[in-house]
Structure 1
Amino acid sequence: MSNLKKNILYFTLFLSFLLLGLLVSRVQANNAELTLATNGLSTSAKEITTLNKVPIKQLLAYVDQNYAKEKVQIQLTNKTENSQILVWSNFDLTKLPIEKGRFLTKSDFDGIIPFALYTKYSSADVEEIQGNPYILYDNRYISVVGSLREGYQKDNYYITTGLHQTTNKNFLNDYTLVIDGLSQKQYSSIAHHIGGKVKQPRFIQKIMQDRQQPVYLFALAVFSILVGLVVATLLGIGTRRANKNTELRDSLFQSLQTNIVIRFGGFTLVLAGLALIISHYFFYFSQISQYVWLLVILLVILNINFSMIVLPKSTTKKVNKGLDIK
């Protein structure tokens, strides 16, 4: 096989690695968009409606007492001002992308002082005092601990609530209540406690209807793997044929073939590393480890395929009976 053909095949192999990077990037971007669309909640979150004047504090006390071992997040969207969301959680929240500062932690909900989080598009009444942003809420200033990234273009702003915070004094019927992190049975228990009903949030219904996992993503993954296998096969066949013409005994021939397999493995590793760097730099990656694992699996498959073709099946096979090396 000529060097030109080999270079073309290696370049094709490199493109298959990049294609795999594009696949992972697209999947992670879809997941990130879903997270943004659901305000940091999972698609298993449930809305509980009630017409009863149940204090927020009563709900928090019930959840804290009965589901302390679960990772629960509660979001209360003000029905009068839809962009205002009260948040409570019994664990650190990290899902939404932060541009500056930090997201809300468990200690923010356990303390007596409420904190806020907003975006540059927020409709909140934000004022700066001595260089620090504050949100005016219920005639008092709430300290802002962070802002969401610029790409998050909703006008929502988040204020903590908790068992010991003044933001817990309002009533549930004035809010749209969404809870995340529990089972269907547990949601039903909460609904029974506050005299409400469980249903799927409207925004999650819309997302699940609109969001279809693109078939092309799966096709892209299969195609990139097939391309890699075809290239490895062609390289293996070409190398095998070329080396069969060498006048070497079995032991030397096997050593040559083994050396070629090792070099192929090293070179494909270099190509994969280069593709990893380029993909990470140009594509969206929230978890680079996912791409690394896919590359490792693909490299193992390619090298096994190449080795099975190139390496001789038996060390006793004669390559050239006419040459005698002592």
Structure 2
Amino acid sequence: MKFKKIIIFVTIFLSLLGIGSMLSNIQSREADQLLEAYGLSNNTRYIEVKNNQTISSFLTYLQKNYAKYKIQLHFKSKIDPKQTLIWANHNVITLPTESGRYFTADDFQGRVSFAVLSLNAKVQTLATQGNEYVVLDNSYYSVIGTLKHYHQMKQNGYYLSTGPKQPTGKAKLTNYIIIIDSSSKMINKLASRYKVKIKTPVFVKNHQIHKFSIIREISLVIVFTIIAMSCSTLLALFDWSVVKNTALTGQLLHNWLFNRGVRTILLESALVLGAYLFLSWHAFISKPQQMILLLLLSWFLIIAAYSYTVLQHLRKEKKHA
């Protein structure tokens, strides 16, 4: 009996890993789309402006005329394809980092530009007094983070913050492809002002084609959940068979079932926690709150399956008494 229970608990644990892995696959697939554009959403479009206006004056114009819109811009250099300048008027989508952190809204407000590196960034750096700096044209940019290695991301790029007051803002618009993540209305207005054509990035087109591609993962989540619930039901049946063999009745029966039920719930809770820790360490999780909610829902359904089975047998026992 003990060996059978061990097998059941292992199966529940593996099912929980399966559930979490499917969510990880979904998030990773979203990351395929988002990370290819360095953290942009599916609203992203891009334009090319043939204008010697500086990035600084361009951003000042945006802040003055489009303050009510959430805007994120990536200026991809035509001169150095590995360089991307990033600006936003809100907190950007956070990309996973191997060390340090990704940009926040505050990094675009001051006078100092910061750098985030890909794992194998092809750019000159200098390490001194425990700090790392990107060195470009005799200017130094403090490195605040290094991105994790994921196959979705280019590994030789580097990213610099920019803003109206920052040294990177002195660059000319004509030397960059402007990638815009904002509302369609805002993007259309901006394109109209500069008389340029709006283009759609490849990753957005791919997402539009494959928007129903997560059905398989959702189906497998349901299958794994059913397996885990079935295993929990088997645990309840095993416990009830012990009751029948010992001929417990009355308060003794209720006490025994309560104690065994609490122990089972604690063990299954430990399995859920273990699954989350394992997945956090080995799987891609861009939104931990989604993983936590999914595993908690699975835990609730597993406990519900156990409790329902026990209560049903108790009712039958009372009817026959």
TM-score > 0.5, shorter chain as reference: yes
CA distance in 2, matches of 1:31, 1:246: 54
CA distance in 2, matches of 1:90, 1:148: 22
Identity fraction in percent: 27
Give the alignment of 1:253-272 within 5 angstroms. 253-272=253-272
Aligned partners of 2:89 and 2:105 also within 8 Å: yes
Give the alignment of 1:21-36 within 5 angstroms. 21-36=20-35
CA distance in 1, matches of 2:245, 2:126: 80
TM-score by length of 2: 0.81
Larger Rg: 1
Give the corresponding residue for 2:73: 74
C-alpha deviation, 1:48, in angstroms: 2.5
CA distance in 1, matches of 2:302, 2:133: 55
CA distance in 2, matches of 1:268, 1:284: 24
Q: Deviations over 1:235-284 (max 9, x none)?
A: 33343344245544444434443343333222322333333343334434
Aligned partners of 1:49 and 1:177 also within 8 Å: yes
Aligned partners of 1:250 and 1:317 also within 8 Å: no
Ranges in structure 2 where 5+ consecutive residues have no aligned partner: none
What residue identity is the alignment partner of 1:145?
A: V
C-alpha deviation, 1:129, in angstroms: 7.6
Aligned partners of 2:126 and 2:133 also within 8 Å: yes
SS of the residue 1:116 aligns to: strand
TM-score by length of 1: 0.79
RMSD over aligned Cα atoms: 3.2
Aligned partners of 2:113 and 2:142 also within 8 Å: no
Give the corresponding residue for 1:97: 96
Aligned partners of 2:114 and 2:144 also within 8 Å: no
C-alpha deviation, 1:226, in angstroms: 0.9
C-alpha deviation, 1:64, in angstroms: 0.6
Change over 3 Å in CA distance of 1:176–1:4 after alignment to 2: same
Is it true that 1:300 corresponds to 2:300 in the alignment? yes
Is it true that 1:149 corresponds to 2:147 in the alignment? yes
CA distance in 2, matches of 1:187, 1:195: 12
C-alpha deviation, 1:203, in angstroms: 4.6
Q: Deviations over 1:282-315 (max 9, x none)?
A: 4344454433322322222122222222122278
The structure with more helix, counted as a fraction of residues:
2
Q: Deviations over 1:206-260 (max 9, x none)?
A: 5655787354422321121111121122333343344245544444434443343
What residue identity is the alignment partner of 1:168?
A: G
Is it true that 1:38 corresponds to 2:37 in the alignment? yes
CA distance in 2, matches of 1:142, 1:183: 34
CA distance in 1, matches of 2:78, 2:180: 16
Is it true that 1:313 corresponds to 2:309 in the alignment? no
Count matched residues: 314
Give the corresponding residue for 1:190: 190
CA distance in 2, matches of 1:173, 1:73: 19
SS of the residue 1:199 aligns to: coil
Give the corresponding residue for 2:62: 63
Change over 3 Å in CA distance of 1:153–1:171 after alignment to 2: closer
